[in-house]
Chain A
């Protein structure tokens, strides 16, 4: 079985996000970028499937600016076998919307014929949480979202889903699209030998036009703003004082 893992280049989770002064989005110039953490979990899971003998090949794919190549190299350094870069934007501030990404991925699936797509449940930049689901709709494949456990046996997969208030276990038919959640695994560090090998692994470069997909945005971003700053708290001396303050604030 071949596993396809879409990975997105996003602002690094350690970077303090700054909104552009005109409110048109987040400033990404000269900011550290890295692989979407949920996608890292997906890459890790794919590599584990390969190590367990349940997958033969792990193919990472990224859609975005040319620099997404670095993100793919990271996937290769973690242990993916090869990578496909689909250049769909010149400007780092151009975000390709989930539907366009899903359409391109559908075309990649038609070409590559994987038995499983493992993707992050969402990217930490826009938190859309849509690509996996849209891809399942376009392909007509089964979908298992928010996976915290995945077990593949023959032509079916058991997926434990993190749903509101608990876990739900479902059994789905392969091929499938599985979107992964935080607790599925702990991604490994790229090993030094794999880092050195990453450059020798194949990385194909294509464009969105090669797949005939129009990536023009369908959504208009009206405004981006900083979250409201938290107001300073207050330290109280006793439970009585706390109760009094809560009453004062109308919370009790």
Chain B
């Protein structure tokens, strides 16, 4: 067992940290205020990221990525987690699900995504299908040799900037002993395809500027070439690739928690009340102790889950634990930090209130805390017949 980064890994961490501090932090307040990322700024972040070879570093070398291990990529995302998501989105990390591209799909989607020429987004959630993915009503039916898509997706992050979307839709239904079960197929849909529109979603308190979009499919006609993976194989594609987004939430929660913690620690040491630094009061000092203990625990839990993936070990339960614990840890840490800052913590003169708001969504998206607990408990109990 070895607890600590290699020299290369430490350099990766240092470089990404510096990138975030230099290229992201100075623009955060403006993005927060306007809810928009200026196109030139997005382009600047993206091109610097491409220049330094970090763009799509989660992809293997044979398709033009940097071939980082899951552990190394977790270290990258942990540092990115410190910065505004609206901005770090352009530190491009295409969905690893694109590795499922075959034949000419590689030229049209996978390779341009890795090169940073085309951006992607992932669409699964619907107004009536959140945690219950199989409840989706967005559907595709055969018409001649084509598929015709109808329905609506919402909460689609990154769709605003996407050149194409990876969309999961129902393509049939099976009768099973446990009732009807939808069959799901994954499609690659280009922006601008007739019958497909992308519009603004809702105003969220979390991650302003990292917009959630609504996708409408109105008799959107797609040829077979747009199917990613097998027809009716959507669940296989999800199971093979979608673990990544949960690790992303876990690592980014840890990174943000560390940034918040550093601010809270400095405040506890510098802010004086009753003639002494507030950190000297046990009520605050112990709070600090609990915060760092939880952050470290979440950090190691997450890195260990990523390490298991690298070792080819089963990791589904561990990833769920990391996502669950890290996102809930972030909620507690940001709340405690806000308490340490007192009234000023609620004012938008400081970023504390933003971190506190941003933290709330981490327990919801990419599988709610409840879904993670379900995954964990099922993983433990099912083998025992329960």
Contacts and interface: CB of A to CB of B under 8 A. Distances in A.
Contacts of A74: 11, 14
Interface in B8-41: 8, 10-12, 14-15, 18-19, 21
B51 A195 contact: no
Interface string A215-246: 00000000000000000000000000000000
Contacts of A16: 266
A189 B11 contact: no
Contact of B15 (A70, A195, A199): A195
A249 interface: no
B48 interface: yes
B250 interface: no
B305 interface: no
A192 B12 contact: yes
Contacts of B52: 188-192
Contacts, number: 46
Interface residues of A, number: 18
A190 B11 contact: yes
Contacts of B15: 77, 189-190, 192, 195
Given A73-B7, A199-B7, A189 B19 contact: yes
Which size class do B's interface residues fall under?
10 to 19
A198 B53 contact: no
Q: Is the interface of A mostly helix, strand, loop or mixed?
A: helix
Nearest to B10: A70
Contact of A196 (B8, B10, B19): B8
Contacts of B12: 192, 195
Given A192-B66, A194-B53, 15 more contacts: A14-B21, A70-B7, A74-B11, A77-B11, A77-B15, A188-B52, A189-B15, A189-B52, A190-B52, A191-B52, A192-B12, A192-B15, A195-B11, A196-B8, A198-B8
Interface of A: 14, 16, 34, 70, 73-74, 77, 188-196, 198-199
Interface of B: 7-8, 10-12, 14-15, 18-19, 21, 48, 51-54, 57, 66, 68, 266
The 7 closest A-B pairs by CB, nearest first: A192-B53, A191-B53, A191-B52, A195-B11, A189-B52, A193-B53, A192-B66
